Amino acid sequence: MDTAVFETPPSTSSRIESGARRRPSRSEAEAAVRTLIEWAGDDPDREGLKETPERVVRAYEEFFAGYGEDPVALLATTFEETAAYDEMIVLRDIRLESHCEHHMVPILGRAHVGYLPAGRVVGFSKLARLVEVFAKRLQIQEALTSQIADTIQGLLKPRGVGVVIEAAHQCMTTRGVRKPGVSAVTSRMLGCFRDDPATRREFLSVIGSQRSAPHEA
């Protein structure tokens, strides 16, 4: 799997790349954090908080790094030299760290990604990176699940794609209904993963799912 044979032109398909909004400066972002500290009831000038606005902005650069990456370009290079491999390819238990777009608190879990190639495959690390690119944005789990699956289907054009995400949302475990231990399960099945029950069962068996019918995104 070391000879690149397909090059897909990069594109900007992200929902945030419209260019219509001016991105605030770093100093404006830090000022906003100061305002939130004051609103919470503390003094942003006390010793323990003086550097907090700068630290928060740096952390946000990591949390939301996906806005600066193009998932289409990430999967641009694919491979044909697969020795006619035509069985399912699955990556399971991909660590997932995202943030809820409703409350901006963490979503923590794991993603399972599989596809049935039709002559074109992509490096394993690229699939894990694809999950990360979409996760490092403000998200809802249903949309995240669909974005990963639809991008793989659109670029690799395999016979089918399956994506299952299991995650805990701190917007419901640490606030609101406060139900720790609850995880949400979403799936997106395309092609033979949707149409062929045997393929679907095989995928769910490989990823170790005990749920025969996770919620479809």
Count Cβ atoms below 10 Å from residue 39 Cβ, excluding itself: 8
* Annotated catalytic residue, options 100, 112, 132, 139: 100
Output phi, psi for 212, to 5 deg.
Answer: -75, -20
Rounded CA gap, 170 and 142, in Å?
A: 16
Average pLDDT, the chain: 88
Report, at the CATH architecture level, how domain 78-216 is classified.
2-Layer Sandwich (3.30)
Rounded CA gap, 64 and 53, in Å?
A: 16
* Annotated catalytic residue, options 54, 69, 97, 103: 103
Segments of the chain assigned to CATH 1.10.286.10 = 1-10+20-63
Count Cβ atoms below 10 Å from residue 105 Cβ, excluding itself: 14
CA angle 19, 58, 26 (to 5 degrees): 50
Residue 153 bears catalytic tag: no
DSSP structure class, residue 57: H
DSSP-based three-state secondary structure for 187 = strand
Are 117 and 89 within 8 A, CB to CB?
A: yes
* Annotated catalytic residue, options 99, 169, 192, 202: 169
Residue 102 bears catalytic tag: yes
- pLDDT above 80: residue 84: no
Are 110 and 93 within 8 A, CB to CB?
A: yes
3-state helix, strand, coil in the chain (%, to 5): 40, 25, 35
CA angle 104, 146, 102 (to 5 degrees): 15
Residue 192 bears catalytic tag: no
Q: What is the mean pLDDT of residues 4-25?
A: 55
Catalogue the E-assigned strands of the chain. 4-7, 77-79, 89-100, 106-116, 138-139, 160-169, 184-191, 215-216
CATH class of 1-10+20-63: mainly alpha
Are 87 and 114 within 8 A, CB to CB?
A: no
Long-range contacts of 175-183 (CB under 8 A, 24+ apart): 175/103, 175/105, 183/109
* Annotated catalytic residue, options 112, 171, 192, 202: 171
Q: What is the pLDDT of residue 4?
A: 38
Residue 112 bears catalytic tag: no
* Annotated catalytic residue, options 28, 51, 81, 101: 101
Residue 101 bears catalytic tag: yes
Of residues 173 and 84, more confidence is placed in: 173
Strand partners, 6: 78
Are 97 and 107 within 8 A, CB to CB?
A: yes
* Annotated catalytic residue, options 141, 147, 166, 202: 141
In this prediction the pTM is 0.85
What is the distance between the terminal CA atoms of the chain, rounded to a whole angstrom? Answer: 32
Q: In this predicted model, what pLDDT tens digit does every residue of 159-214 receive, in sequence order? A: 999 999 999 999 988 888 888 888 999 999 999 999 999 999 999 999 996 544 44
Segments of the chain assigned to CATH 3.30.1130.10 = 78-216
Of residues 205 and 79, more confidence is placed in: 205
